[in-house]
Structure 1
Amino acid sequence: MDEATPPVNGWRELAESMPGGVAIQVDEEFAYVTEELASIVGTDADSLTGRPWQTLFDRNESDRLERTAVSKARTKGRWEGKARTGDRGAGGTPVEIALSATETGNLVWAVSERSAIPAERNDGSDRYQSIVEAVGDGVYALDENLQFSFVNDEMCEMFGRPENELLGTDPRTLFVDADQLDIAADMRERVVSGDLSTGTVEAVTETPDGDRLELESYYRLRAEPADGEFPGTVGVIRDVTERNRRERTLERQRDELETLDRINELLLETTRELIQTATRETVERTVCEQLAASDLYRFVWVGEREFDGNRIVPRVTAGDDRGYLDEVTITDTKSETGQGPVGRALRSNEVTVANVDDSSFEHWRDAARERGFESVIAVPLRDGETVYGVMVVYATREDAFSEREQAGFDVLGRTVGSVISAAKSRELLFADAVVELEFRVEDSDTVFVQAASKCDCELELDGYVPSAGRWILYLSVTGGYPVTVAETMANDERVERAKVIGDEGGDGRIELVVAESSFLHTVTGVGATVQAASADSTSIRLVVEAPDDGEIRDIVDQMLSVYSDAELLAHRERDREITTVGRPGGVLDDLTDRQRESVRVAYRSGYFDWPRESTAEEIAESLDISSATLHGHIRKAERTILSALIDDD
């Protein structure tokens, strides 16, 4: 730094007049160093000027002084203490330091040499040699009664107690962990008996300020026992709180990465399982078994709400639960048995975690603790708004599920839900026998019942097409005017668009575009289709078709989740003739999704009738595409369909 720099010039004369070695620190560097200080540390002033103050010390010592000397001088104005300059392994120089802060924020270092061992404690023996070698950490000596006979300044700072308070006390009084105290007591007996001459003790202590410190203590006998007399020990204590915290953080991160890798593997395995078997049971079992096989988790199960109640019952289990599910009751209600992660996950449709110590888990805590469970995650298995159940995973460590793991489990839950949905749809496509479920819904708040009531008519579903997260429905109107019905429905906030596509003077057809949350999504989400639906001024009647080996309970549950007053009127089984048109590998499989959607909407809208009931422009508006794009989709679809039929013929 230039000599004209004000912070230096203002202190140069004062610094040179002070006894001992003096240096002025500006920011992190020495702006001025006296020759006497440089001589103390075995160098010249020029080699230190402009260099960081840490240059005087090795890394451990500079880290210690940063925490103690520099920090306290800046906050309290002054610090005094001892240190060792240079490379500790090469010897270094023991020094006394007085560190003062100026009004401008600079620091003044006053450094003088000191004896390695206080004169009053130098009895001619080498019993303090290990202390000299370890200055910078907490250093102590225990007498023949295993009480402190010497402690250095770092020890006093570490425990937040003055020297006179520590001397003559038993070090075990500093322990706060009972298990560690037992280990230390055992080691103490072995040292006294001569079984051990060196050793390491780990301890957790609490400072007067309430801070918890994790410590490592390394000790050795002060000398060989003479005439059977125990000579005491010397040792070093190191604060390893931050080191242990970093190690625990790294360990958690490694566990998280391992978990995320395994979840990614599960995603791939789940997809492969769908291609190979396409059954819900196999997919659920694969996921549970792979998670339970991991050393990260103890027990995994997939559950669903029982058919005639609110209890969550298991479908698949894997791992070691030792009868846990037989002992506990879990529901999806807001009662005490539904406040845990499982009930909350099903009600919120979101991944939910809990530790066994959480107040919300109190109802199951004893049973969980008996089996070593410490934390749990509940993952809804869902596809869109449809929930097929919940996957529950138990771990033997607290806070086992980090945010990244939760995100991975959320992806896993969605993937399994999509697989289940696809499996159910596939089952229906290939089913030679089906089950028909007929429901009546007396809900005056539905779009259909309100329109039928206001317009004094009946509505019947002719067909429907899913399109870009919405549903396009085609309804026949009987006993009313289609224009009036369309206007009434268009005024409902749940309806995006309603228009007439056929009017025969009192009867006719309308096209209705509704949001994704319609009952159609609910039914198709559980692998079923709506075969018929009609509405009058009081109720809706629905006929739902599902494979005869399907989960009828899921369909009923989903209907009740949308319409609480839904009533199951009939349950019929019948055989059906399967056409090849809509089955996998059929003619429609050669179309793109957009082509298939365009053809279906055009067909339902009467575009292929003569005369046409809807124009290409009207159909394009329903699909939110241009008429040119619609023409392109339809022409390409027509060519693909005709080519398949004619070439096959």
Structure 2
Amino acid sequence: MVPRQELAAAALETLPVTVAVIDDEGEILLTNRSWRDFGPDPDDHVGADYVATAATADDEHARRATAGIEAVLAGERDSFEMEYPCHSADEKRWFMMRVNPFTDDGQRLVSLVHLEITERKLAEIAAEENARQVRDEREALEHVLERVDGLVRNVTDAAVGAETRAEIEHEVCACLAETDPYVLAWIGRTDITAQRLSPHEWASRGDVPLEDDELVIGTDEEHPAVRAFVDDEAAVIQDLESAADADRWWPTGAGDVVRSVTALPLSYGDLTYGVLVVFAAEADAFDDRELLVLESLAGTIATAMNALEVRRMLTTETVVSVEVAIEDPSLFVTALSATLEAAISYRGVTYDGDGTPHLSLHADRAIAPEDVPDVSPAGGDVTILSQTDGRTILEITTDDGLVTALSEHGAVIRELTVTDTVADLTVELPDGRSARSAYDLLERRYERVELVSYHETTEPTPTRESITTRLESSLTDRQLTALRKAYYANYFEWPRDVSGEELAESMGISRSTFHQHLRTAQRKLLDELLE
């Protein structure tokens, strides 16, 4: 049987930790293989004074180790342990030293165990770094939330409390320019006739330069303001120094005070009031979180502008007349003109109970019933309301949506005629931004749209508008439909082009009911005119 002492020494050789035994004088009596293999110069160090060697090292960790070992050897401590770094040129390493006393034949000895704890230490360091990052991010987020809260409150107050659109633009730009990291903000408006976009109101902090040239829609597509306006979404340049065309729009040296820029459309539904452009003093200032805040602010600004415009439309008498030429075979009146080989003109629209539009159209020749398509080329039922030798009144139930879409922009169709594949459209709108939005709608829908004229007047005929408003509010839907159908179908001309029975059939009601609706509508109309 192997003696117990030899068995212990053999087992000690197999341990994956470095172990040494020293006597009460600090001399090394025994080491294991891990101890001897550790370090660049393998040595068992037996006979060396470990304590004296550690005491001479000019190192805080060595001094702590010496004091701990001496305290255990002197019986002042039952044990001692400490963690310390022991980095090499190739890697960082950490160890834990444990000192425990024992006796052999009455002599006080201690064991020194050095256990590598690099993996645990790296994990602790990573956890501390993660905790620091989380703490820094939380502090940064708290700062951002505080800044954003103040910015949102100030911009909202400025937008909602303003009395004019120009005041909204001025106050919003001032709020943004005073908020870090922003240094410049401007709001641009568009000129529908010249296709130009230019700053209307702006504010800056310090000597930040402003673009002094108008931007051309369709040419300056790389400018974020133009991109935002055309695409109806935010456009960002995170570093002006890397922007190829930056020198075209910003003066030399602008990069010293501004580094990034974003532009956001001021849109309310299908209406676009302009573009908000914001500059920051640092690169990469407009991350997703920042853009989300600015997009929300842009929506608030556009909503406030819309509210002011609606209030202005209710209290002032302004109208914009826009005439365009549309060349596109998909336009429903153009397609119908080609099918019937006739000049087509729009007379008006009525709506049934579920809101489906029924358009009344005039053809400049008599059209045989068998020549009328059951469905128009653009979709929708086609019927003949009235007919003479030289003209035909058609009614179309169409899902084309142009008339409805224009009405949603506040447009009233004054003329829509088609001759030789070109449609001439004249609409009246309540203001310039509605005209811009309606024109954009037409450009998006059709192949070729040419602006023929744009005219704004501040004195439309108030009597007609007020009478129309009061009359429409006093009539039921059926009464108004009966009146409009009769007028569009030339029922009031003599000789009549259409009978009351035919109009009643087109409305899906009896002849007597139709005449009752029509007489009531006529009486209310005369009340408005004569009372």
Structure 1 residue 260 displacement after superposition: 5.1
Structure 1 residue 122 displacement after superposition: 1.7
Q: TM-score, normalised by structure 1?
A: 0.50
The question of whether the paired residues in 1 share the 8 Å contact of 2:383 and 2:395 is answered with: yes
Matched, 1:472 2:405: no
Matched, 1:322 2:253: no
2:56 maps to 123
Deviations 1:342-391 (A, max 9, x none): 23222321122231157446525875753532332211112334433211
Structure 1 residue 393 displacement after superposition: 1.4
2:266 maps to 381
Structure 1 residue 323 displacement after superposition: 5.5
Matched, 1:554 2:485: no
Matched, 1:282 2:164: no
Q: Against the structure 1 CA distance between its residues 570 and 367, is the aligned structure 2 distance closer, same or farther, given a 3 Å change threshold?
A: closer
- CA distance in structure 1 between the aligned counterparts of 2:505 and 2:206, rounded to whole angstroms: 63
The question of whether the paired residues in 2 share the 8 Å contact of 1:339 and 1:361 is answered with: no
1:156 maps to 87
Alignment equivalent of 1:532, drawn from 374, 397, 415:
415
Q: TM-score, normalised by structure 2?
A: 0.59
2:137 maps to 249
What's the secondary structure of 1:343's corresponding residue?
A: helix
Alignment equivalent of 2:503, drawn from 610, 613, 629:
613
Q: After alignment, is 347-356 or 382-391 more displaced?
A: 382-391
Deviations 1:4-38 (A, max 9, x none): xxxxxxxxxx99x9659x9xxxxxxxxxxxxxxxx
Q: Against the structure 1 CA distance between its residues 480 and 389, is the aligned structure 2 distance closer, same or farther, given a 3 Å change threshold?
A: farther
- CA distance in structure 1 between the aligned counterparts of 2:155 and 2:485, rounded to whole angstroms: 40
The question of whether the paired residues in 2 share the 8 Å contact of 1:606 and 1:612 is answered with: no
1:49 maps to none
1:402-441 → structure 2 map (5 Å cutoff): 402-421=287-306, 423-432=308-317, 434-441=319-326
Q: Against the structure 1 CA distance between its residues 313 and 607, is the aligned structure 2 distance closer, same or farther, given a 3 Å change threshold?
A: closer
2:331 maps to 446
- CA distance in structure 1 between the aligned counterparts of 2:507 and 2:11, rounded to whole angstroms: 96
Matched, 1:265 2:147: no
Q: Against the structure 1 CA distance between its residues 317 and 601, is the aligned structure 2 distance closer, same or farther, given a 3 Å change threshold?
A: farther
Q: Against the structure 1 CA distance between its residues 491 and 387, is the aligned structure 2 distance closer, same or farther, given a 3 Å change threshold?
A: same
2:452 maps to 568
- CA distance in structure 2 between the aligned counterparts of 1:391 and 1:331, rounded to whole angstroms: 16
Q: Against the structure 1 CA distance between its residues 409 and 124, is the aligned structure 2 distance closer, same or farther, given a 3 Å change threshold?
A: closer
Runs (5+) with no aligned partner, structure 2: 1-6, 20-33, 35-49, 67-82, 94-121, 492-499, 510-516
The question of whether the paired residues in 2 share the 8 Å contact of 1:356 and 1:362 is answered with: no
Alignment equivalent of 2:383, drawn from 489, 493, 500:
500
The question of whether the paired residues in 1 share the 8 Å contact of 2:350 and 2:357 is answered with: yes
- CA distance in structure 1 between the aligned counterparts of 2:291 and 2:12, rounded to whole angstroms: 64
- CA distance in structure 2 between the aligned counterparts of 1:303 and 1:469, rounded to whole angstroms: 41
1:70-85 → structure 2 map (5 Å cutoff): none
Structure 1 residue 302 displacement after superposition: 1.2
Q: Against the structure 1 CA distance between its residues 310 and 570, is the aligned structure 2 distance closer, same or farther, given a 3 Å change threshold?
A: closer
Structure 1 residue 474 displacement after superposition: 1.9
Q: Against the structure 1 CA distance between its residues 351 and 555, is the aligned structure 2 distance closer, same or farther, given a 3 Å change threshold?
A: closer
- CA distance in structure 1 between the aligned counterparts of 2:232 and 2:178, rounded to whole angstroms: 27
Structure 1 residue 153 displacement after superposition: 6.3
- CA distance in structure 2 between the aligned counterparts of 1:328 and 1:120, rounded to whole angstroms: 79
Give, as a single letter, the amino acid of the residue that structure 2 aligns with 1:613: L
- CA distance in structure 2 between the aligned counterparts of 1:339 and 1:297, rounded to whole angstroms: 21
Q: Against the structure 1 CA distance between its residues 607 and 435, is the aligned structure 2 distance closer, same or farther, given a 3 Å change threshold?
A: closer
Structure 1 residue 507 displacement after superposition: 1.4
Structure 1 residue 510 displacement after superposition: 1.4
Q: Against the structure 1 CA distance between its residues 123 and 362, is the aligned structure 2 distance closer, same or farther, given a 3 Å change threshold?
A: farther
What's the secondary structure of 1:490's corresponding residue?
A: coil
Runs (5+) with no aligned partner, structure 1: 1-13, 23-77, 83-97, 99-116, 134-151, 164-212, 214-236, 620-634
Q: After alignment, is 506-515 or 296-305 more displaced?
A: 506-515
- CA distance in structure 2 between the aligned counterparts of 1:332 and 1:416, rounded to whole angstroms: 23
- CA distance in structure 2 between the aligned counterparts of 1:603 and 1:293, rounded to whole angstroms: 59
2:177 maps to 292
Structure 1 residue 154 displacement after superposition: 4.2
The question of whether the paired residues in 1 share the 8 Å contact of 2:429 and 2:435 is answered with: no
Q: Which has the larger radius of gyration?
A: 2
Matched, 1:490 2:376: yes
What's the secondary structure of 1:304's corresponding residue?
A: strand
Structure 1 residue 314 displacement after superposition: 0.6
The question of whether the paired residues in 2 share the 8 Å contact of 1:424 and 1:528 is answered with: no
Structure 1 residue 313 displacement after superposition: 0.9
The question of whether the paired residues in 2 share the 8 Å contact of 1:380 and 1:389 is answered with: yes
Structure 1 residue 162 displacement after superposition: 6.5
Give, as a single letter, the amino acid of the residue that structure 2 aligns with 1:542: L
- CA distance in structure 2 between the aligned counterparts of 1:510 and 1:297, rounded to whole angstroms: 57
The question of whether the paired residues in 1 share the 8 Å contact of 2:320 and 2:455 is answered with: yes
The question of whether the paired residues in 1 share the 8 Å contact of 2:232 and 2:265 is answered with: yes
